[in-house]
Structure 1
Amino acid sequence: MIRTFFIALTAAAVLLSQSAVAAGDPVRGKAKSAACAACHNVDGNSQMPIYPRLAGQNADYLVHALSSYQNGRRKNEIMKGMAAALSAQDIQDLAAYFSAQNGLIAKR
């Protein structure tokens, strides 16, 4: 009985230590990326130098960037507004989609 309790307690601790947000899904991310396309292009390869290219970026970086716009650590009113309504899962999905795209080499 005590052993079963400790096994259950250990299993619960492992589950709680894992992220509550599932890993990003690039298919769901593509469906959620329509608003991003206006500035960053459909596949994240912005053709305008003032907008960063998202395609091929590291997913963790994209999650950090979107979260930082959302909580105000990064200062950009447009991106703050775009990120405000995103859930943690939305951010994971968008990051998975854009990181899976082929990035273009910038022309110099």
Structure 2
Amino acid sequence: MSDSKTSATLRYTLMRFGIFAGCFFVLWGLVYLRVLPRGLGDSNLLWVLVLSVLISAPLSLIVLRKQREAMAEQIATKVDRAKSRLEENRTREDVQQADAQ
């Protein structure tokens, strides 16, 4: 169970990077073919990077919904476990202090 939870984060990250890289190479090709305008001077790479971010971000929101939900579950589970451990430690400390008195 832990392996699938860990891989949810890794899978989301890799897929998000893949969408960005795909957008980057498609846009780079379109700029190279002069379908899209080039940047000013030497800013061509920056232009393609900015366009890639602007296109891949909303695309990732739509395409990677399931992976994002799996990651959210993973995080919520870890937070709940940490909260319960913290509460157990507090209760144990309270009992030890009561016994000491």
TM-score above 0.5, yes or no: no
Identify, as 1 or 2, the structure richer in helix.
2
TM-score, length basis structure 2 = 0.30
